[in-house]
Chains A and B, each alone.
Chain A
């Protein structure tokens, strides 16, 4: 029964996904699907971060870093020509286990690159291992200190992406090939594959949402929420709080990395802006708007705000808008905008104003 209640919104989500696709088809506005696809991938980052922040109570201002690790590694591995290193032991090994593919570049040059599935696995594992390695020490920090440490991590990844010729410096990586998930189903920005890509992205969102919903309602999920609620007491009840914090940090990093891999294949490339600090702030802002401990809120806001941003509604003030959103939410709706009761809010503001007035006049008298 509980399970049924948990999954009802998932069915609504599926219905909405299909409806939107059909509507765009009939109204011949399928160009919206491109932004909806990208929004879906970004939302995977957002809901992963939502579980870390809202349920685990740990902040990360470095999630764009994990997204970029996934995206950049997938991009580099599937485009970087390994021909010159043919005889290197590692390349031979990768070839032996079938992770390499031969192809031709635009200029007819023979290319030897890592096959997308292999690149995806390597990229996501790397992000996971990095999260595991840095999570151990930095998750000992709390509040502002944790925020700063993760911010530092994000900046490091950003600067590496920007400075390394291997990662294409300011240009990033381009000409990333499509990612054939199965024969006939490819993640790519190819015009004809628009609809199938829309469903791939949304399929991923649905899977991610179901996994996370299960998690937060499980024994481990309760342990995570207890850390958020009162860490000392959680420890005293036998919860290995350090380990659970690390688990959820790694999980959310892996979600970000997977999204990064798919976006890179979808866009055919990735640039350093994806690793930027403002991207991390944006993810945090969206989680906050959605209401922190609210996967559905984060998902809805992730879709809406990313969609508007990708449509260019905010123009060149894009990053500024997300900054402003974060400030406003923190001030007026710390529980997210889905929980606001506007009338209640106005009344309480008025009441506050009146009492201040009275206090002031009392002081004057």
Chain B
């Protein structure tokens, strides 16, 4: 079984079929992209995988565990992490603190231990901090460490969000439009970064509109249109797939 296995997934909102019997798998170690025109159901798909929305039917297996019906924090603990299209960072906290929160599931000091500041939590706290700096450094935003998040530029915020997702040490990383709002240089940078993350052993599933980025970095592409999977193939095959060209450019295209 693939690392992430989606079988006959259905989700409708009233009469609208956001996802209609979608199935595909993401093999360990690959970069898989989900593309499709607006309203194709990409974000719904991510919300179902991450546990933010319940599926109407179908199953999602992650690491051979059935994850639909579980809460987002439970799924996160199984090793799934994500970034958001419209960056969701913790306001009122510094960049470093944001990334340190990523270490939450990898550390264990509890309520009482924290309140009493018990000495055995100190090494753990130091480790959380060091790891946090390490990931900020990896994303090239280490110099923002002590700055409150709303004072950072969009690009820096994206970096911090990536660092936070990586700090959880995920086996699968969901990236929701990682290049949204970035210029071509930053997009190229993100592309290199995603490849680098994959090389470190993390499997990646991404939704992205920037086709050149998708074609560059993905091993496989799934195309959704009006909630249906219309193609799943290697990037260069997708580029020549008539059905895909039709949904993207219209019938008369």
Among A215, A221, A229, contact of B90 (Cβ-Cβ < 8 Å): A229
A232 to B88: give the CA distance in the assembly, Å: 8
Chain A residues near B73 (CB, 8 Å)? 235-241
6 A-B pairs with the lowest CB-CB distances in the bound complex, closest first: A218-B114, A229-B90, A238-B105, A238-B76, A233-B88, A214-B117
Among A214, A215, A223, A247, contact of B101 (Cβ-Cβ < 8 Å): A223
Chain A residues near B71 (CB, 8 Å)? 235, 240
B72 touches A235 (CB 8 A): yes
Smallest beta-carbon distance A281→chain B, Å: 24
Task: Provide 22 A-B residue pairs closer than 8 Å at the C-beta atoms, listed in order of the A residue.
Answer: A211-B115, A211-B116, A212-B115, A215-B115, A218-B109, A218-B114, A219-B121, A221-B114, A223-B104, A225-B93, A229-B93, A232-B52, A233-B88, A235-B71, A236-B50, A236-B76, A237-B102, A238-B76, A238-B104, A239-B73, A241-B73, A293-B92
Across the two chains, which residue of chain B brings its CB closest to A230?
A: B88
Smallest beta-carbon distance A135→chain B, Å: 14
A218 touches B92 (CB 8 A): no
Q: Which of B8-16, B77-85, B197-205, B240-248 contacts A (4 or more CB under 8 A)?
A: B77-85
Interface residue B32 (Cβ < 8 Å from any Cβ of A):
no
B-side interface residues, number (CB < 8 Å): 41
A residues near B (Cβ < 8 Å) are 3, 211-212, 214-215, 218-223, 225-226, 228-230, 232-241, 247, 251, 293
Smallest beta-carbon distance A94→chain B, Å: 28
B residues near A (Cβ < 8 Å) are 50, 52, 71-73, 76-77, 81-82, 84, 88-93, 97-98, 100-102, 104-105, 107-111, 113-117, 121, 124-125, 128, 149, 164-165, 168
B101 touches A218 (CB 8 A): no
B90 touches A247 (CB 8 A): no
Across the two chains, which residue of chain A brings its CB closest to B117?
A: A214
A236 to B88: give the CA distance in the assembly, Å: 10
Overall SS of chain A's interface? helix
Given A218-B109, A225-B93, A235-B52, 14 additional A-B pairs, CB 8 A: A211-B115, A218-B114, A219-B107, A219-B124, A222-B100, A233-B90, A235-B72, A236-B50, A236-B52, A236-B73, A237-B164, A238-B104, A238-B105, A239-B73
Among A220, A230, A241, A293, contact of B110 (Cβ-Cβ < 8 Å): A220
B115 touches A225 (CB 8 A): no
A150 to B96: give the CA distance in the assembly, Å: 34
Smallest beta-carbon distance A61→chain B, Å: 22
Decide yes or no: A218 and B121 within 8 Å by CB, A233-B84, A233-B89 being known contacts.
yes
